[in-house]
Amino acid sequence: MSDMTQIDVDLPDDLHAWVEAKIADGTYASMSHYACDLIRRDHAAEEARQRLQAVVDEGRNSGISGRTVEEILEDAKDFDLAEKRMKASQAGDAVPLSDVKAKLHFKN
């Protein structure tokens, strides 16, 4: 078993009742499981926020694009199609080749 640290948390009555209801309905096994889940989710959300901020910063620092809005939107559509195809492939679903050919174009 991994090392554990015990902490005490004081909750207002309404929040305590909320957690107790989550335990009673089987969503969580204990207050400890509930607290750990909240902390994990908060940690994951902070990591996602930091990744998003890094992308925003990269975009801001990249300068102004020489491409038109239409070119950027077309690339976004191509990316969306490729992403959907990849997800479908991972799920074992087939994506009709005609759908892919109709959307893809090659740029020099």
What is the mean pLDDT for each group of 10 consecutive residues in the chain (108 residues)? 84 96 96 95 95 92 88 84 77 60 50
For position 106, what pLDDT does the model report? 47
For position 20, what pLDDT does the model report? 96
Could you tell me if 65 and 72 are in contact, meaning their C-beta atoms sit under 8 angstroms apart?
yes
For position 97, what pLDDT does the model report? 57
CA distance 31 to 24: 11
CA distance 61 to 4: 43
| 3-state DSSP percent of the chain in helix, strand and coil, to 5 | 70, 0, 30
